[in-house]
Amino acid sequence: MRVLVSTTGTGVGRTEEERRETLELMVDGFINEIVKTIKPDKIVLFYTKETKEMVDLIKSKTDIDTKLVEISNPDDFNLCFRTMLEVLKNYSERDLFINYTYGTKTMSSAMASAAIFVNTRLICIAGERKGGIVRRGLERISIFEPYQFKDMVTIEKIAKLFNVYNFDAAILEAQNLRALDYKDELIKFLKAYELWDRFNHFKAFEMLKESWKSVDLVDKNHVKSNIEFLGRLKSKEKATVEYYKMKLLDLMENAKRRIETGLYDDAVARLYRATEVIAQIMLKERGYDDPIVLSEDDSKRREILRKFEKFAEFKDGKIVLRLGVMSKLELLSELGIDLAIEMKNDEKLRDLLTKRNKSILAHGFVAMAKGDNAEKFYRYLLGYVEKIYGKFFEKDLRACRFPKLEVLK
């Protein structure tokens, strides 16, 4: 079903005769140009008391089913827009054309704005004008799709969603783009960061490499540093200290994003895991995996077993220790590792870990609060992360930080 929606006007002129003449020209243009071109099954006319005359003339010249919608105040943009948008939504699934040629400037701009919101085509009558009216016989109908304007609005939504890490919603918005020439690449770009946020680093790396050059909404140098970070992460052997250090930095940034979006329990769960990764790095630097395996020829075997025997499992002639975070730090302290000793004796860190254990995502029912737990935990733990990471800490921390998309000012 093809539907034509139009504003209506009064005609213009210094005298009543001139006004009537221009009104008839307007009606002739509507019938002979617009209706003849569009061939609608239904016409919807927005009118006011002042434009009712044009409505009557149109109805006298066509037998097409016509619906009338009155606008009580043609100079109230918000009223016009709300009324028009409500009507247009009823026909949004039809083959819809919007003529905004007639009426007050307020009515015309409201009609064009409403049309953009329902992704439909706009019509106007163009040509050489006299007294503001296109001259008879010189009319030409212009039909266009205002997708570039709608895309600008959509891109701003996408940027705002991306910048608060709502990647799924940003991807859904991007699918509504109509005229953007790099739509597919933008969707892939957004998907890459959504994957990265879920720790799917290698797939994110591939998708970023394929899409980043086409996206104009972002600092390209920042994205290049992201790709370089992911590329180095991909190239590392998963069991190496370097791999664990890079994963630790990424985990800290992931926790920070959760804090920025108010997901404090999720953030603290990640920070607890980051604390454990610090301990695992110290173990790896001493030749131990996690769980810790004590072989027969381990010179520290007897000393470690004496203190941690309750955690020991005996398997194939080897001793396996499965330790929690604090127990790992205690063991590392026994080995004389300064950083482990510092962390084990840090009452503030111990208190933060205890609060995590009371979290709803751990062993309790206490929700994390912004100030006294999550943010404090992040800032405090970052100091230890810097100590164990060593060289290039600042550079790599920036390299695993997500960029921001530019929004309209």
Count how many domains the chain has: 3
Residue at 240 is within a domain: no
Give me the pLDDT at residue 357, please: 55
Give me the pLDDT at residue 215, please: 94
**Do residues 307 and 369 both lie within one domain?**
yes
Domain boundary among 79, 111, 145: 145
Give me the pLDDT at residue 79, please: 97
Return d(Cα 238, Cα 106) in angstroms, integer.
64
Mean pLDDT of the chain: 89
Instruction: Encode pLDDT of 277-306 as tens digits.
Output: 999 999 999 989 998 888 777 788 888 888
Return d(Cα 377, Cα 382) in angstroms, integer.
8
Return d(Cα 121, Cα 104) in angstroms, integer.
20
**Do residues 9 and 120 both lie within one domain?**
yes
Least confident range from 5-19, 203-217, 359-373: namely 359-373
**Do residues 138 and 170 both lie within one domain?**
no
**Do residues 68 and 100 both lie within one domain?**
yes
Contact 68, 24 (CB under 8 A): no
**Do residues 307 and 377 both lie within one domain?**
yes
**Do residues 287 and 403 both lie within one domain?**
yes
Look up tokens 């790099």; give the residue. 182
Q: Is the confidence at residue 195, as pLDDT, over 90? A: yes
Return d(Cα 127, Cα 371) in angstroms, integer.
65
Average pLDDT over residues 135-153: 73
Least confident range from 143-152, 157-166, 207-216: namely 143-152
**Do residues 211 and 111 both lie within one domain?**
no
Neighbours of 42 (CB within 10 A): 15
Residue at 200 is within a domain: yes
Interacting residues of 129 by C-beta distance below 8 A, sequence separation 6+ = 135
Give me the pLDDT at residue 31, please: 92
Q: Is the confidence at residue 315, as pLDDT, over 50? A: yes
**Do residues 409 and 274 both lie within one domain?**
yes
Give me the pLDDT at residue 238, please: 84
Residue at 244 is within a domain: no
Q: Is the confidence at residue 358, as pLDDT, over 60? A: no
Q: Is the confidence at residue 181, as pLDDT, over 70? A: yes
Q: Is the confidence at residue 11, as pLDDT, over 80? A: yes
Average pLDDT over residues 48-77: 95
**Do residues 302 and 329 both lie within one domain?**
yes
Q: Is the confidence at residue 223, as pLDDT, over 50? A: yes
Least confident range from 114-128, 197-211, 340-354: namely 114-128
Q: How far is CA 193 from the centre of its chain?
A: 10
Peptide bond into 40 cis (omega under 30): no
Average pLDDT over residues 209-238: 94
The tokens describing 384, both together, are: 């230890």
Q: Is the confidence at residue 322, as pLDDT, over 50? A: yes
Domain span holding position 101: 2-145
Contact 158, 173 (CB under 8 A): yes
Give me the pLDDT at residue 363, please: 47
**How confident is residue 359, by pLDDT bands cut at 50, 70 and 90?**
low
**Do residues 141 and 154 both lie within one domain?**
no
**Do residues 268 and 407 both lie within one domain?**
yes
